[in-house]
Amino acid sequence: MKCLYCREDSELTTWLDNARGAVLFQKWVACGCPVCSQGHHMELNGGDRVVFGELDGAPGPCLIPTETKRVAGLSVSWDESGVTVEHNGQSWHIGP
């Protein structure tokens, strides 16, 4: 996934290591660029698709996609405590 600011490309696992919080009702994860720390969001609706982009707040919150990837072996589950993501033997739990 490529940072929209510094344009550095990083693996999904590195972005998940830099997660800042989950937006439960939208199924978004806020994260920081591993290189420049600039904030980004990704949509994890389950399955193997990750949508990466930036937020727009008008007329309501929406994610403007800049990159969409299919990630084989990705597992995503949401509940009231946040999101659990599993990939390649690694696991992340990201709370709100």
Burial class (CB in 10 A: 0-12, 13-18, 19+), 64: exposed
Q: Are 23 and 53 in contact (CB under 8 A)?
A: no
**pTM, two decimal places:** 0.89
Tens digits of pLDDT across the chain (96 residues): 999 999 999 999 999 999 999 999 999 999 999 999 999 999 998 789 999 998 887 777 899 999 999 999 999 999 999 999 999 999 999 999
**Residue reference for tokens 């709100």:** 96
Closest listed residue to residue 1, CA positions, set 22, 25, 17: 17
